[in-house]
Structure 1
Amino acid sequence: MSLYIDASYESLNKFNEELCGDKVEIIRNRDSVIVVLADGLGSGVKANILATLTSKIIGTMLTEGASVDEAVETIVNTLPVCRERGIAYSTFSILQVFYSGKAYLAEFDNPSMIRLKKGVFVDVERENRAINGKRILESRFSVSPGDLFVMMSDGVIHAGIGSTLNMGWQWENVRDYIAKTYRPDMSARNMSKLLISACDNLYSRMPGDDATAVAIKIREPVQVNIMIGPPVDRSMDGYVVGRFMEQKGKKIVCGGTTSQIVSRELNKEIITTINYFNPSIPPTAEIEGIDMATEGVLTFGKALEFVKNCFSSESTINDFLSLNKQDGASRLAKILLEEGTSMHFFVGRAINPAHQNPELPLNLSLKLKLVEEMAEYLKKMGKHVEVEYY
């Protein structure tokens, strides 16, 4: 089985604290994705150090093939002791999902992970095991496309306690909220942002504790192929279009000249539209066999701006909702951010004089810089990116 594991998290710092006492590590390796959520004792600098040490130690050791027993023993023997409370530990949750469809869960004193299958809550059977005097809950199970997992620190279930809610946002309430708001096309980043936004509201924008939500969604791989710009050598037009069309997945063409090349090589008509959903973004066109055809640098640059906004730590759920607009840049950004799991760029190096400063070398042309920057952002999100130049 070939799967894509979409993983993302959002955190709230305790009010008036510059550092978060929760720490998340997302480690992608050849056969699995390991997600570690650690919640350090207390808040502020001490909690941040405890959580960082815990998540780093667990993530590194599991990646190198160590067992959970060895990782926990190392944590117990490594973490410093808090002078005020006389204890030294950080609670943690570990979820390792293998591309084969198998998964392993280990939890220590964190709220229980929530699992949805096709939008419906399904509990995970756990076994109680003692490791170095610590009570660890473990589970091994199978996953399938459409499964959603949400791990959280206790700041989530404490949201609103003593103010908007007498007893806080209980685990059952969080579970019901996730099930109610879940949509099949919702990405992991959307879910984590939505959950943390709800926590922030319950805390009246003054969190009484660090709160972190980690969402992991199991998806079938979806490749997105983007052809942008004509090749330097015109005799390569047919070859590049052939390479582009033989790829699996969605196909997007960016640029007027590029669209004309594709239209000519495929012998398919370009059907242009005059619908300006956004006055600053040129309209799209249609070519049979192509999922979307857009204008080039202006549209791609605006899409990159939208991707940056969504990737920013200060982004909100509204930034993602804005991608539902019908203009070419919003549609392109939504496909790259939420639909595609891997991207294959076919980049023509022919230079449009309107986009090139004659004082800059070829590799700094605006088009190439936009593609390189987009590729870097997508890689940071855990997507596989391949770029071919012609």
Structure 2
Amino acid sequence: MTANVDAYAQCSARFGENQSGDAARLFYGEDAVTAVLVGGDGEAMHACVLAGMVASMLGSALSHPVAVDEAVATVVDMLPKGGSTASVLFTVAQIRADGAAYLARLSMPSIVFLRRGRVLPFSAETHRCGSYVFEETRMRLKPRDTLICFGNGVAQAGDGVPYAPDWSGTLLPAYLEMAYTPSVPARKIGELLLSVSNSLCGDKPQNDLSVAVLRYRPVQEV
């Protein structure tokens, strides 16, 4: 039963491109919802193909009866060995119906964890798989806890903007705190973050913008 997990994922292409080099997907299981963000570096078409391939690999692994951490480890093990790893980056966030949450991050911006409208820190374990190093977190959520994931385009939207110093480190978390209300849907948070990121770029983002939001809903909201 996944009705008590409110989820949203979306990405938009950089200015002048028709296809996004990022991929944002939601995968619904019997008792869990998983959000996957994949960032693709480089030329737009190559990035689009790479991001779509990795997202599909994660989705395929999640479709089997294995734990999400095993699915992530399987995909990381399948990534190209040797050479540059900079072009492969992803975030995986899963919330189960019982409130158990799992996060994995490979070369992507930090995930924002909101509880009662406040950004809270959380710990992560580092794992190495060949030349890839990724982080994993497991936590138990409370009703209305929210996880906000985003790609490098959103994290870098304030770069060079005089009125937005330290956007990703300070202003972005503060903006999400102000946007929070106990009943705000995941879609609303995601759309607001995409909108403000696009505005910071003067509506001409030089990078693809992608977000995914998962919110653990109390039973009475379902």
Q: Do these two structures clear the TM 0.5 threshold for a shared fold by scoring above it?
A: yes
CA pair 102-167 structure 1, distance change in 2 beyond 3 A: same
How many pairs does the alignment contain? 218
> How do 1:44-193 residues align onto structure 2 when only pairs under 5 Å count?
44-64=44-64, 65=66, 67=70, 68-76=72-80, 89-164=87-162, 169-193=167-191
**Partner Cα separation in structure 2 for residue 106 and residue 132 of structure 1:** 16
**Partner Cα separation in structure 2 for residue 104 and residue 61 of structure 1:** 15
**Partner Cα separation in structure 2 for residue 43 and residue 111 of structure 1:** 21
**Partner Cα separation in structure 1 for residue 136 and residue 173 of structure 2:** 20
> How do 1:235-254 residues align onto structure 2 when only pairs under 5 Å count?
none
CA pair 20-164 structure 1, distance change in 2 beyond 3 A: farther
Contiguous gaps of at least 5 residues in structure 1: 223-338, 342-390
* Contact kept? 1:25, 1:56, Cα under 8 Å: no
The Cα of 1:196 is off from its aligned counterpart by: 0.7
**Partner Cα separation in structure 1 for residue 137 and residue 181 of structure 2:** 26
Cα distance per residue 1:16-72 (max 9 Å; x no partner): 011111101211111211111100112511111111111110122033126122121
**Partner Cα separation in structure 1 for residue 163 and residue 157 of structure 2:** 8
Contiguous gaps of at least 5 residues in structure 2: none
Aligned to 2:4: 4
Regions of 4+ moved over 6 Å? none
**Partner Cα separation in structure 2 for residue 133 and residue 71 of structure 1:** 13
The percent identity for this pair of structures is 26
* Contact kept? 2:14, 2:204, Cα under 8 Å: yes
Of Structure 1 and Structure 2, the greater helix share is in 1
**Partner Cα separation in structure 2 for residue 34 and residue 86 of structure 1:** 28
* Contact kept? 2:190, 2:212, Cα under 8 Å: yes
CA RMSD of aligned residues (A): 2.3
Deviates more, 1:187-196 or 1:131-140: 131-140
The residue identity in structure 1 corresponding to 2:35 is V
Of Structure 1 and Structure 2, the greater strand share is in 2
The Cα of 1:122 is off from its aligned counterpart by: 1.2
Aligned to 2:40: 40
> How do 1:375-386 residues align onto structure 2 when only pairs under 5 Å count?
none
Cα distance per residue 1:107-135 (max 9 Å; x no partner): 01100100011111111210111112211
TM-score by length of 2: 0.89
The Cα of 1:13 is off from its aligned counterpart by: 1.4
**Partner Cα separation in structure 1 for residue 13 and residue 138 of structure 2:** 32
The Cα of 1:3 is off from its aligned counterpart by: 6.2
**Partner Cα separation in structure 1 for residue 163 and residue 206 of structure 2:** 13
Aligned to 1:213: 211
* Contact kept? 2:23, 2:55, Cα under 8 Å: yes
Instruction: Say which of 192, 197, 200 aligns to 1:199.
Output: 197
Q: Report SS of the residue matched to 2:134.
A: strand
Task: Using CA pairs under 8 Å that are at least 6 residues apart, name the structure with larger relative contact order, 1 or 2.
Answer: 2
